[in-house]
Amino acid sequence: MSNIELSQIDRTVIGADGGLPSQSSDKSRASADRLGARGLLLLSWLAPVLLVIVWEALAQAGSLSPQVLPAPSKVIRTAYKLVTTGTLLNDLGVSLLRAAAGFALGSAVGGALGILVGFSRIAEAVIDRSVQMIRAIPFLASLPLVIVWLGVGEAEKIFLVALGVTFPIYINTVLGIRQVDPKLLELGRVQGLSSLQLIRRIILPGALPSILTGVRYALATAWLALVVAETIGAQSGIGFLAMDAREFLRTDVIILTIVIYALIGIAADSIARLLERRLLAWHPNYGAAR
Amino acid sequence: MNVHVAPRHAASSESGPAVVVSNLVRSYGSRVVIEKLNLRIERGEFVALLGESGCGKTTLLRALAGLDSIQGGRIAAPRRPAVVFQEHRLLPWDNLWRNVALGMQASDARERAAEALTEVGLGDRLDDWPRNLSGGQAQRVALARALVQQPELLLLDEPFAALDALTRIRMHELVRELVANHQPGVLLVTHDVDEAITLADRILVMRNGAIAFEHRAARDGSTSISRAELLVELGVISHSPN
């Protein structure tokens, strides 16, 4: 169990600043100092902006077929048109609602099971093996089965998202509870805390960093699940928009949906990070400075 | 908890012992660590417990704290004792006053925590996080947390062992002051012979799960035991130099 978990955590941690760990030789640090933080920030935007400019120029010059890669300006115009006259906002709302419902369901189940197993060795013996066995299945592989059970509809999509969310939340909740420092639990007993107070004042706060790591990973999985579910069969939603556009070779709309998926992924991650900064203000690795 | 907590009488807070241990037996499986130990600590009395590693002194403290079960005998204490451990054991997710108030039910918890923190010289840091404290400061918060509940028995498990020498001397002064003000019975488990001589009214040396030596300082503290005598009792040196 631990190998996969660790790699998950590593991935999220590396993704945390959205960049590579900063490691530089003295020489390169000296020239970086001359640029300053603002200069470095500007520099980091150079390549993506240049890429978009080159893309736009090639498209304008007619070197790129609009069916292969329409100009960025065209994608923006399409976005505007779809917002004002089309159903983009409605589709976006439908997609977000599905993600939210699946996330709520999955985190409730994962969290409840995680708390149960975290606290009780008996619950662990009863539950953990089954959960680990189901977890071994790449959850997207269960999609055909889910469609047979629930058909192609809202239930199937929400179920798939919930399935993807349950396991990261479960694992990190169990891990978090088990990692609480036994010396602090001992202190709680010395101070005369009841079991309930012990949970509220020591165990849950102690488990929170791990649980939030789970939340962050679950947000990414939820989004992935939603994209897959909406691509397979949907009558509304961002994924439906993309598949519908594919029928008519509207590459601009397809690119737009991809960009929207990316933006929402970034937004979800930002929310998770905001939560961490708020709830883990005490933690040296997360909190704002003193 | 196996500590027998007798009902607290109104009068008992003024007089009587902080703890009475009779025929205490503590064993791990078949290995007996403490064999029929008797100990009485009065309120306001400062007792230091010395002994080499593994002699059972921490085991005794843990039994008094109610952290371990006992296999025989009786521990009678009017109230739950307070404990300061070698590590500060502050909750990193609670600010200082919440740490001090941990386990307090009173509605004026914040005010009382503030008083206790002021008493240890950290009255201006109520809302600070534990991670911003030095080792000595953190241990002072731990002392405040122990004393805020007005314990009748204060258990100190090598609380100064991890501090640097100068900080340790300051902490000795502070503890002496706090104990004088609050008058709990104190059991200090320590490796430090000088610390025991400086602080204690009574010094106990534990050997093989029993109290092997006892020295009571004079009321005015004038005729104190020498360091060498204690080292002989501890088995560190074989004979006193004179």
Q: What is the pLDDT of residues A200-228, one digit of tens each?
A: 999 999 999 999 999 999 999 998 899 89
Contacts of A134-139 with C-beta under 8 Å, sequence gap 24+, read A134/A167, A135/A167, A135/A171, A139/A163, A139/A164, A139/A167, A139/A221, A139/A225
Pick the residue of A191, A201, A280 with the most B CBs within 10 A to test the interface with B by mutation: A191
Across the interface, whether the CB atoms of B94 and A188 are under 8 A apart is answered: no
Average pLDDT of chain B, as a whole number: 86
Query: Which region among A100-109, B73-82, B144-153 has the lowest average model confidence (pLDDT)?
Result: B73-82
Are A14 and A21 a contacting pair, CB within 8 Å? yes
Split at pLDDT 50, 70, 90, the class of A185 is very high
Task: Share the mean pLDDT of chain A.
Answer: 86
Res B6: pLDDT: 44
- pLDDT of B13 above 60: no
Res A7: pLDDT: 40
- Kindly indicate the confidence band of residue A40, based on its pLDDT and cuts at 50, 70 and 90: confident
Share of chain A above pLDDT 90, in %: 58
Res. A41: pLDDT tops 70: yes
Q: Report phi then psi at A125, rounded to 5.
A: -60, -40
- Provide mean pLDDT across the span A54-60: 92
Rounded CA-CA distance A27/A33 in Å is 10
Q: Per-residue pLDDT averaged across B181-200, rounded?
A: 91
Question: For A248-265, what is each residue's pLDDT tens digit?
Answer: 889 999 999 999 999 998
How are beta strands B202-207 and B185-189 bridged, if at all?
A: unpaired
Q: Is the pLDDT of residue B45 over 70?
A: yes
> Residue A23's pLDDT is what?
54
A179 touches chain B (CB under 8 A): no
| Separation between Cα atoms, residue B85 and residue B62, nearest integer Å | 10
**Taking 80 as the threshold, does the pLDDT of residue A6 lie above it?**
no
Bridge partners (DSSP) of residue B157 are: B189
pLDDT digits (tens, 9 = 90+) for B67-93: 988 898 899 887 889 999 999 999 999
Q: How far is B11 from chain A (nearest CA, A)?
A: 23
**Whether the predicted pLDDT of A290 surpasses 60:** no
Q: What length is written for chain B?
A: 242
Band (pLDDT 50/70/90 cuts) for residue B117 is very high
CA separation for the pair A195, A201 (Å, rounded): 10
Average pLDDT for residues A141-151, to the nearest whole number?
Answer: 91
Q: Which of A254-263, A276-285, B41-50, B98-107 has the lowest mean pLDDT?
A: A276-285
Question: Averaged over B177-194, what is the pLDDT?
Answer: 92
Instruction: Please tell me which of the candidates B66, B93, B130 has its beta carbon nearest to residue A205.
Output: B93
Under a CB-based contact definition with an 8 Å cutoff, are residues B88 and B36 in contact?
no
Residues B242, B231: Cα–Cα separation, whole Å? 13
- When pLDDT is cut at 50, 70 and 90, the band that residue A10 belongs to is very low
Distance of residue B33 Cα from the nearest chain A Cα, in angstroms: 21
Q: CB-based contact (8 Å) between A10 and chain B?
A: no
Distances (CA, A) of B43 to A13, A89, B177: 53, 74, 15
Token duo for residue A140 = 């997207």
User: Which position has the higher pLDDT, A66 or B62?
Assistant: B62
Do residues A217 and A166 touch, judged by C-beta distance below 8 A?
A: no
pLDDT score for B219: 61
Q: What is the largest CA-CA distance in chain B?
A: 59
Cβ contact, residue pair B92, A197, below 8 Å: no
Flag if B93 and A186 touch (Cβ within 8 Å).
no
CA nearest to A48, candidates A247, A240, A245, A262 = A262
**Interface contacts (A, B; CB < 8 Å):** 54
User: How far is Cα B155 from Cα B149, in angstroms, rounded to an integer?
Assistant: 13
Cβ within 8 Å, pair A282-B131: yes
A165 in Cβ contact with A222 (< 8 Å) = yes
pTM given for the model = 0.77
Maximum average pLDDT range among A167-176, B64-73, B205-214? A167-176
Instruction: Decide if A183 and B83 are in contact by the 8 Å CB cutoff.
Output: no
